[in-house]
Amino acid sequence: MFDKLKELILQYVEVDPDSITRDSRFIEDLGFNSYDIMCMLGDAETEFDVEIDEEEIMKCKTVGDLLDYFGGQENG
C-alpha cells in the first residue's frame, strides 16, 4: 500500500521518491497545497476502494497517518 500511495503522491508533487517516508508531512515536507491534497485523496479513494470521511481525514498530516487511516478502513 505504501508504494501505491507513493505513486499517487508523485503525481501531484515533484520530490525525490526516496525522500517520501511514513513521517513525511504532506504540506511541510512534500509541498502539497490544500487543493492538491483534496485531489490526491479523491484518487486514493478510488485506488484503495475506501470512503474517506472528510472530518477524519483532516487529522492525517503525514504519509503514515494516511496509511493507518486506509488500513483501518480496509479492516473496518
CB-facing half-sphere around the CA of 63: CA atoms within 13 A: 22
In contact, 23 and 59? CB cutoff 8 Å: no
pLDDT exceeds cutoff 60 at 75? no
Give the model's pLDDT for residue 73: 64
> DSSP states of 14-64 as a string?
---GGG--TT-BTTTTT---HHHHHHHHHHHHHHHT----HHHHTT--BHH
- pLDDT tens-digit series, residues 8-63: 999 999 999 999 999 999 999 999 999 999 999 999 999 888 888 888 888 999 99
Please give the model's pTM, rounded to 2 decimal places.
0.86
- For residue 5, pLDDT beyond 50: yes
